[in-house]
Amino acid sequence: MSDVLKTKPFNTKVSIDKAKLNNKNIQKWILIADGKTFAWSNRLERVQVIRKGIPYDSIGSISKKINSPVKTVLNIVGVPQTTYNKKKSNHSLLDSRDSELVLRISEVIDYGIDTFNNEDEKFQRWLHKPNLSLGGSPPIKFFDTISGINEVKFCLSRIEYGNFA
């Protein structure tokens, strides 16, 4: 006689409940600017936010997150102070390149704060301190390009997993 493997019938309700629990654990990024909340949890949602554009006021939000003057973020993004002042007061939107840069900076800042166990002061020190794995430059100096932001994220990843960074 052969042993027959008995299987239980598939329970869709259990499967749906598990999927709902997994969706609660998905990373969600939020940027609040100009009284609006911009949220995304994956690359496709990020692209949608970028295409719609985010307000110039988001530059101020980033400056608060990295505890630096708005002028520092304006230099990173490459926007003159006068343009920023005018566009912010008109509630204008950043172009897609600048929107993407601001969103990616926001993501890496959130990731960095999380990597440093929500100890914002430690992350701020790390962000402004020369880093050997970045050629001796502070990580904040790499926020002006997507590739630079990726390098900072790689450094944070190495820290998170206990590797040299």
Render pLDDT for 45-61 as a digit per residue (tens, 0 to 9): 999 999 999 999 999 99
Residue listed under structure tokens 């505890």: 67
- Predicted pLDDT of residue 27: 72
> Model pTM greater than 0.85?
no
Render pLDDT for 127-144 as a digit per residue (tens, 0 to 9): 999 999 999 999 999 999
Residue 115 near residue 123 (C-beta atoms within 8 A): yes
Residue 88 near residue 57 (C-beta atoms within 8 A): yes
- Predicted pLDDT of residue 113: 94
> Higher pLDDT residue, 145 or 6?
145
- Does the pLDDT at position 4 exceed 70? no
